[in-house]
Structure 1
Amino acid sequence: MNAIMRRALTGAVALSLAAPLAACGKEQQDAGAGKDAIGLLLPENKADRYEKFDRRIITSRIASLCLECKVDYGNAEQQVDTQKRQFDALVKKGVKVIILDPVDSQAVKSWVSSAAKKGVQVIAYDRLAEGDVAAYVSYDNEKIGQLQGKAMLTALGSGAASADVVMMNGSPTDPNAPAYKKGAHSVLDGKIHKIIFEKDIPDWSAATAKQKMTDVINAHGAQGFDAVYSANDGMAGGIAAALKSANIKDVPVGGQDAELPALQRLVAGTQYFTIYKDVRPEAETAAEIAFRLLRGKSINSLTTTTAGNSTKSGIPARLFDARVVTRKNLKDTVVRDGVVRTDLLCADLADACKSLGME
């Protein structure tokens, strides 16, 4: 065998050996792709909190717990199909722990349960997903509704018993929305005259809330209602805009989330209250649960209660409390906690901020 033939044969053997080795290496890489990865899927980017707070806090906390860990992130932008593609992609990569805030809690049921059979542990974050979830981190949402109802009664004062109230509830696809509504009704029912209009607003749409509020104004007149309950601040912004367009003042509007525009409306007097849910403890707890599940550690010390969906009961859970924020305590809550900078809050509201002791 001459040298040329030997070199050709040697090269062919090397290539034939390299091919299965390369394939084996790829399989090993794919099989271990999720070893240090945690998936994070958030539902939308209309609300300020998800990109500015939840994502950053969760990512930062995981990094502090695990230098080698990677957060594989996706935002569904309110689209169920987009979230499904993101979820399926994480499972295909081999990610074994996913923090999921579902766009539609019912729609994810089959994805979550199917993934669980493959050893994927899903942490339902902020909203309780259907399916075989491993843990749940959120707030006590019925209590939040109760806080909203109590704040509305405070706003109405001695006139509560004769008050007619408008209620704009949250999206029917959000499992938190019925809890807010139930909590609010448990406080308001029997304490006010009546609810003259009530509507669940799809996708928490501010534009839809504004249109529905305009319809109420046209149907009942400027004096036909005494207060407006809004399940969140985004919708409260649409409601406040409708009231302003109709030149209606001094009608208490309540919301939730302590978003900057809502806090500015509190300062300006066009929104009476919001609900402050400190995102940090919720996000950091979800991050630590995810890390512990990834490493096969106990989460018992982090989950102080249990929850249940239509698929599973006894889900380890952690539910945090929230607080009402009004003009009176704004300085001692969200400002003190650094949720909002005074210079941003008081832009174009210098005199009103000064009267509240914020300059």
Structure 2
Amino acid sequence: MKTCIRDVVVAVVAVSMGVALAACGQGGGTGGYAGSGPRIGLLLPDAITSRWESKDRPLLEERIKERCGDCTIEHANANGDVAAQQRQVDSMITKGIDALVLVAVDASALNAAVRKAHDAGVPVVSYDRLAEGPISGYVSFNGQEVGRLQARALLKAMAHRADGDQIVMINGDPTDPNTLLFKDGALSVLRGHVKFGKVYDTPMWRSDIANMNMSGAIADLGAGNIDGVYSANDALASGVISALRANKISPLPPVTGQDADLGAVRRIVGGEQYMTVWKPNDAEASAGAAMAVAAARGENLHRIATGTVRTRSGDVVPAVLLTPVSVTVGTIKDTLLKGGVYTVQQICTPLLRTACDKAGLTG
């Protein structure tokens, strides 16, 4: 198992390096860096999911700078507001940007805005979520594999139980196209092995809504009748676990997650959350930056792509699809620590010292 994990980590690093373009100088300015070269817009969907501003934005800006020191980066966050993101696309077009990296708040609702950018000669690189409309490139992870990893881990954690035991399924935002991919992947593994006691979608990936839904599931199904929880990401898992704790359920049923948030990793070490899915942000940002710079320079994105995807309209688009990695307490060392995501000091708070020692996390 450890050898397999190491191979995946090496593969992720190789993909990250493979999409890199040669650096061309240094620079600084608006939204991060300024210069006389191409202007690249970066539109993020919200601040509810911590990764967008804490991980993806700084990594994308850094990787763009490495590839194009005279590029200018313009950044905006829609804070979950579709209309705001539509206005931000308009603003980017007006500013004369040369390429746009877009994480759509709502893939369908942004279709017209993507088309407007395309008609204005602005190529759109769809990042993490597959946007609708005439996009020029796509960078993300294999969404169905994310769901499969979560489901396999959940069944493994429930292995001492009988087939047909009951789970609660807490899916993500129904307007996020990734939600359907995660759900499809998970269902392909879970069907026939568990009973779905309750199934919920979670608008805006909000942990408070996940908490409310989980509390409702406990009230309807009974505290002793929940054998596992499929939670689509770590933010939702935090809400789920809070509801389980509030209802004094012990021991906690296994709960899945995604994104390898620091809080989730600590919950895994402490035994509250069973697993998460690590989607190496650096590899995704490297691919996204490479596509953005190439698009801004009018270059062919197929030379960066490792494959293609078909959009809802039927267009075939150059894509980089990366491999997600399952993380449980026994694999933190060979994934997140080896990958440089966190240090032992960051994970192992004083309250977790004994649990960290038991997990072999020392240093």
The residue that corresponds to 1:354 in the other structure is 357
The residue that corresponds to 2:8 in the other structure is none
Segments of structure 1 that go 5 or more residues without pairing to the other structure are 1-32
Letter in 2 for 1:81: A
Query: What is the correspondence of 1:137-216 to structure 2 with a 5 Å cutoff?
Result: 137-192=139-194, 194-216=195-217
The residue that corresponds to 2:315 in the other structure is 313
Letter in 2 for 1:218: A
C-alpha separation in 1, matches of 2:170 and 2:80: 19
The residue that corresponds to 1:6 in the other structure is none
Please say if residues 167 and 197 of structure 1, whose CA atoms lie closer than 8 Å, have aligned partners that are also in contact.
Answer: yes
Distance 1:283-1:160 versus aligned 2 partners, 3 A rule: farther
Identity of aligned residues (%): 38
Deviates more, 1:72-81 or 1:174-183: 72-81
Segments of structure 2 that go 5 or more residues without pairing to the other structure are 1-34
The residue that corresponds to 2:31 in the other structure is none
Distance 1:296-1:160 versus aligned 2 partners, 3 A rule: farther
C-alpha separation in 2, matches of 1:332 and 1:310: 38
Please say if residues 38 and 72 of structure 1, whose CA atoms lie closer than 8 Å, have aligned partners that are also in contact.
Answer: yes
Q: State the structure with more CA Rg.
A: 1
| C-alpha displacement of 1:82 | 1.6
Query: What is the correspondence of 1:12-91 to structure 2 with a 5 Å cutoff?
Result: 36-91=38-93
| C-alpha displacement of 1:146 | 0.9
RMSD: 1.4
Please say if residues 237 and 262 of structure 1, whose CA atoms lie closer than 8 Å, have aligned partners that are also in contact.
Answer: yes
Letter in 2 for 1:97: A
Secondary structure of 1:303's partner?
Answer: coil
| C-alpha displacement of 1:78 | 1.2
C-alpha separation in 2, matches of 1:288 and 1:260: 27
The residue that corresponds to 2:18 in the other structure is none
C-alpha separation in 2, matches of 1:44 and 1:356: 34
Aligned match for 1:95, one of 88, 94, 97: 97
| C-alpha displacement of 1:185 | 0.3
C-alpha separation in 1, matches of 2:233 and 2:358: 26
Letter in 2 for 1:197: K
Deviates more, 1:302-311 or 1:85-94: 302-311
Please say if residues 122 and 135 of structure 1, whose CA atoms lie closer than 8 Å, have aligned partners that are also in contact.
Answer: yes
| C-alpha displacement of 1:160 | 4.6
Once superposed, which parts of structure 1, at least 4 consecutive aligned residues long, lie more than 6 Å away?
Answer: none
| C-alpha displacement of 1:338 | 1.6
Letter in 1 for 2:276: T
Aligned match for 2:121, one of 119, 122, 137: 119
Aligned match for 2:269, one of 255, 267, 270: 267
| C-alpha displacement of 1:34 | 9.2
Secondary structure of 2:155's partner?
Answer: helix
Please say if residues 64 and 290 of structure 2, whose CA atoms lie closer than 8 Å, have aligned partners that are also in contact.
Answer: yes
Please say if residues 164 and 192 of structure 2, whose CA atoms lie closer than 8 Å, have aligned partners that are also in contact.
Answer: no
Please say if residues 36 and 70 of structure 2, whose CA atoms lie closer than 8 Å, have aligned partners that are also in contact.
Answer: no
The residue that corresponds to 1:302 in the other structure is 304
Distance 1:252-1:227 versus aligned 2 partners, 3 A rule: same
C-alpha separation in 2, matches of 1:256 and 1:53: 14
Please say if residues 264 and 276 of structure 2, whose CA atoms lie closer than 8 Å, have aligned partners that are also in contact.
Answer: yes
Please say if residues 116 and 122 of structure 1, whose CA atoms lie closer than 8 Å, have aligned partners that are also in contact.
Answer: yes
The residue that corresponds to 1:14 in the other structure is none
Letter in 2 for 1:90: M
Alpha-carbon displacement from aligned partner over 1:141-166 (angstroms, at most 9, x marks no partner) = 01111111111111111425131111
Identify which of structures 1 and 2 has the higher relative contact order when contacts are C-alpha pairs closer than 8 Å and 6+ apart. Answer: 2
Structure-2-length-normalised TM-score: 0.87
Please say if residues 48 and 205 of structure 2, whose CA atoms lie closer than 8 Å, have aligned partners that are also in contact.
Answer: no
The residue that corresponds to 2:109 in the other structure is 107
Letter in 1 for 2:208: A
The residue that corresponds to 1:235 in the other structure is 236
C-alpha separation in 2, matches of 1:218 and 1:182: 27
C-alpha separation in 1, matches of 2:224 and 2:100: 50
| C-alpha displacement of 1:332 | 1.4
Letter in 1 for 2:330: K
Please say if residues 125 and 135 of structure 2, whose CA atoms lie closer than 8 Å, have aligned partners that are also in contact.
Answer: yes
Please say if residues 37 and 70 of structure 2, whose CA atoms lie closer than 8 Å, have aligned partners that are also in contact.
Answer: no
Tell me whether 1:223 sits opposite 2:224 in the alignment. Answer: yes
C-alpha separation in 2, matches of 1:76 and 1:210: 24
Alpha-carbon displacement from aligned partner over 1:147-203 (angstroms, at most 9, x marks no partner) = 1111111111142513111100010110100110010000000122x1010011111
Letter in 2 for 1:333: T
C-alpha separation in 1, matches of 2:187 and 2:36: 44
C-alpha separation in 2, matches of 1:115 and 1:51: 24
Secondary structure of 2:311's partner?
Answer: coil
Aligned match for 1:286, one of 288, 309, 313: 288
The residue that corresponds to 1:13 in the other structure is none
C-alpha separation in 1, matches of 2:356 and 2:252: 19
Deviates more, 1:66-75 or 1:335-344: 335-344
The residue that corresponds to 1:257 in the other structure is 259
Please say if residues 34 and 93 of structure 1, whose CA atoms lie closer than 8 Å, have aligned partners that are also in contact.
Answer: no
Distance 1:82-1:139 versus aligned 2 partners, 3 A rule: same
Please say if residues 131 and 312 of structure 1, whose CA atoms lie closer than 8 Å, have aligned partners that are also in contact.
Answer: no
- The size of the alignment, in residue pairs, is 326
C-alpha separation in 2, matches of 1:80 and 1:342: 39
Secondary structure of 1:51's partner?
Answer: helix
Letter in 2 for 1:355: K
